Amino acid sequence: MSNKADKSRTGAFYKPASVCSPGQKAIRPGHNVKFAMSLRSFNLTIIIPTKDRAPILRQLLDSIRQLEDIQRIRPEIVVADNNSCDETNERAKSVGRDFPTNIRVLKVTRPGKSAALNNALKVATGNVVAFLDDDVAVDKTWLTAVEGFFSNGECKVGQGIIRVPSPEKDGPEILALIERYRTIPVLEYKQNFKTIHSINGANFFVAREVMDRVGGFDERLGPGAAGTSEDVDFARRLAAANIAIGYVPQAIVYHRIDRSRLTEEYFKESHRRQGHSRFLIRQRGTPAILFDLARACVRYGYYTVTGNERNRYRSKGRIYHYLGMMEAKKNHTGGKEA
């Protein structure tokens, strides 16, 4: 990947960063890295990318309305509508007329979640930016948890917890499918974790100075484009810049359970899209991809025989992942080895 920003591909805000110099190891995110952060006043912008999900978006906005101390903190909310064909734009504006803080609805015609995020970043006024997927609902203490994290001043990037709602979680059948397919984000570490190595785009927050330093989101990646991994790429660039990702267990969101994600077909397609996206992040050679594909097939066979379902599905997902990589490589090279 070139070290120069490719504005035609990713929008003016995105600035790719080189991972490391030749022979230099990339620094692991969170590896004894701390930043003193002094915010004279906590000024938060919440960015919500969305497309054709008016009723679901309303549920998120209703949960934000109930946040503790929202009248005091008064975060700016930017709904980045990625050219929806339903009533998303109109309904979001309607909610904003009677809301405890300002809601700005931004129409983004360039396709893809990353494009929507980058456009929203251009208009965001906060010195902290939080990113929420439209299919989550925030816990009532989420806002004060984010404020407390940045007031603490140890890290400039934070990742919150992602859970599923209790009524659905109590159903053993649904819980088993969530565990099997892992196509609905669930993220929670031990309470004593201070820093982590990755980001999930459904619930994270970043100091604006970090966004300005490492750049926005690669518009080739994410839903509406290659399919996934805009958050993975962002975390890689944080690591390259030696910026730690703090873990914030008090900042909790609840991810909506979409039953259509809990199927074999969705599982296959999700991992295939992930393979496409990861190839764009790191363009690997055919021998390396085929080696990993073969290894995943062997492991799948072994875990099928031994009856280890979790590892069997992990291996199965990797098979689809590497097949997706091969498909992306073929499309990238026109069927010829680069």
DSSP secondary structure string for all residues of 12-35: TT--------TTPPPPPTTSS---
Amino acid at 188: E
The predicted structure's pLDDT at residue 20: 28
Total residues belonging to the chain: 338
Burial class (CB in 10 A: 0-12, 13-18, 19+), 197: middle
Quickly count: other Cβ atoms within 10 Å of residue 309's Cβ.
Answer: 13
pLDDT in tens, the chain (338 residues): 333 334 333 444 444 333 222 232 333 334 444 444 444 689 999 999 999 999 999 999 999 999 999 999 999 999 999 999 999 999 999 999 999 999 999 999 999 999 999 999 999 999 999 999 999 999 999 999 999 999 988 899 999 999 998 755 567 888 899 999 999 999 999 989 999 999 999 999 999 999 999 999 999 999 999 999 999 999 999 999 999 999 999 999 999 999 999 999 999 999 999 999 999 999 999 999 999 999 999 999 999 999 999 999 999 999 999 999 999 999 876 545 44
The predicted structure's pLDDT at residue 166: 75
Helix spans in 134-263 (H): 142-152, 166-169, 172-181, 208-214, 230-240
Amino acid at 43: N
Burial class (CB in 10 A: 0-12, 13-18, 19+), 83: middle
The predicted structure's pLDDT at residue 295: 98
Instruction: Please state, in angstroms and as integers, the Cα–Cα distance from residue 283 to each residue in 47, 247, 279, 319, following that order.
Output: 30, 30, 5, 17
The predicted structure's pLDDT at residue 172: 85
Distance CA 139, CA 164 (A): 12
The predicted structure's pLDDT at residue 232: 96
Distance CA 121, CA 147 (A): 19
The predicted structure's pLDDT at residue 170: 61
Q: How do 76-81 and 136-138 pair as beta strands?
A: unpaired
Closest CA relative to residue 139, chosen from 66, 202, 246: 66
Interior/surface letters 45-77, b for 16+ CB within 10 angstroms, e for the rest: bbbbbbbebbebbbbbbebbeebeebeebebbb
Domains of the chain: 27-258 (3.90.550.10), 264-333 (no CATH)
Query: What 3-state class would DSSP assign to 53?
Result: coil
Distance CA 223, CA 229 (A): 9
Contact (Cβ atoms closer than 8 angstroms) between residue 272 and residue 324: yes
The predicted structure's pLDDT at residue 171: 78
Sequence-distant (6+) residues with CB within 8 A of 186 are 162, 163, 164, 178, 255
